Amino acid sequence: MSAHADAPHHGPPIANQSSRIDASVLGMFLFIASEAMLFGAFFTAYFFVRVVNPDAQPWPLPPFHLPVFVAGVNTTILVTSSFTMHWALQSIKRGNRNGLKAGLVLTLLMGLAFLLTQMLEYARIGFNPGDGAFGTIFFGLTGLHGAHVFIGLTLLSVATVRAFRGHFTPEHHHGVEIPGIYWHFVDVMWIVVYATIYLL
C-alpha cells in the first residue's frame, strides 16, 4: 500500500500503524504458533501411544533400529543452516549483497542435504508406517517435519531468486527476514523431534 503515499486520493488511505511490530512479521509468528500446535497434535499422539497406552510397545519396536548417528549428523547440518540463514539476514541489513546470496545458497544447500539424507534413511530404515504404532509415530513425526523443511526450502528458494535479482535493500528485506524466521522454527522443531524420537 505504501505505493500510494504520494497520492492520498489514489486508492486507500494509509492505514495507521498502531503497533511497533510489523504486520507480516507478526503474521509469520502467529502462523508459527499454529504450526507449533500442529506438531503438538502429533506429539500428543506420540505421548498417548508411548506413555499413556497401558500395553505400550517397546521403543523402537524390535527387531527394528533407529539410525541415531546418521540422524545426528543430519541434525548438525540443519542446525548449522540456521546460522548461515542468520548470517544472510545480517549481511543484507549491513547492505552486503554477496553475504546475503552466499548465506541463502548455503542454507538452501544444507536444507536439501538434510531432506535427501532423510529420504535415504526412509529407504534404508527397513520398516514402514504400518509396522506397529512405533512405525506410525516415527513416520508421522519425521514426515510432518520433512514436509515443513520442504515448505521452508520453497520459501528460501523464492528469497534466493529475488536476492540474485537484487531485490533486497538494507531497508526492505522482509522477503529474507520472514522465510528466515520460519526456517529457524523448522530447525528448532527438528531438535525436539530428534530428541523425542531418536534419543528418548
Partner 1 sequence: MRRGSIVRITIYGVLAGIAASLVAVLVPWLPTSASEEMDRIEFAFWFTTVICIGVFSVVAAAIIYSILNFRVQPEDESDGPPIHGHTGLEIVWTAIPAVLVTAIAIVSAIVLARNDDAGPNPIRIAVTAQQFAWKFEYPGDKKVVSGELVLPVDKPVKLTLHSLDVIHSFWVPEFGQKSDAVPGVETTLVITPTKKGKYRVICTELCGLGHSTMRAPVRVVDQATYEKFLADKAGAGAPDETSGKSIFTAAGCSGCHAFAPAGSDAEVGPKLDNVDPRGRPVDEFLRESIENPNAFVEPGFQPDVMPSTYAKTLTGKQLDALVQYLVDGQKGS
Partner 2 sequence: MTDVAHAAPEAHHHAPAPPRRGIKRLTGPGFLRAAWMAPLFWALGTGLVLFFRWLGHYEPTADWTVITVVGFLTTAPIGFLAGIGAFDYWLYYIAGRPTRVDDHASHGAFSWRDYFKVNTDHKVIGVQYLVTTFFFFTVGGGLAMLFRAELANPDMQYVDTQTFNGLVSEHAALMIFLFIIPAFAGLANFAVPLMLGAPDMAFPRLNALSYWLLPVAGLMFLAAFLAPGGAFATGWTSYAPLASEQPLGQVFFNMGVQWAGASSIMTALNFLVTIITMRAPGMTFWRMPLLVWANFTTSLLVVIATPFIAGSQFFVMFDRVMHTNFFHVAEGGYVLGYQHIFWFYSHPAVYIMMLPGFGIISEVMAVFSRKPIFGYRLMALSLMGILVLGFSVWAHHMFVAGLAPWLRVPMMVTSMIIAVPTGIKIFSWLATMWEGKLHFRTPMLFALGFISMFVLGGLSGIFLASVPIDIAASDTYFIVAHIHYVLFGGSVFTIFAGIYYWFPKMTGRMYSERLGKLHFWLTFIGFNGTFFPMHWIGLQGMPRRVADYSAEFGNWNLVISMFSFLLGASTIVFFYNVIVSWHRGPIAPSNPWRAMTLEWQVTSPPPVFNFDEIPQVVGGPYEYGVPGAKHAVLRGGAATVHEEEVVH
Binding site for partner 1 (CB under 8 A): 53-55
Q: Which residues contact 50 (CB under 8 A, 6 or more apart)?
A: 56, 59, 133, 137
Query: Can you list the alpha helix ranges (DSSP code H) found in the chain?
Result: 23-47, 68-93, 97-124, 132-164, 174-194
Which of 54/130 has CB closer to partner 1? Answer: 54
Residues 150-169 that bind partner 2 (CB under 8 A): 158, 161-162, 165, 167
> Contact at 8 Å (CB) between 176 and 168?
yes
Closest separation in Å from C-beta 105 to partner 2:
15
Closest separation in Å from C-beta 180 to partner 2:
17
Residues 59-118 that bind partner 2 (CB under 8 A): 61
Whole-angstrom distance, CA of residue 33 vs CA of residue 15: 26
Residue 121 found at the interface with partner 2 (CB under 8 A): no
DSSP 64-76: ----HHHHHHHHH
Residue 179 found at the interface with partner 2 (CB under 8 A): no
Closest separation in Å from C-beta 134 to partner 1:
16
Listed ranges 55-63, 76-84, 86-94, 180-188: which one lies at the site for partner 2 (CB under 8 A): 55-63
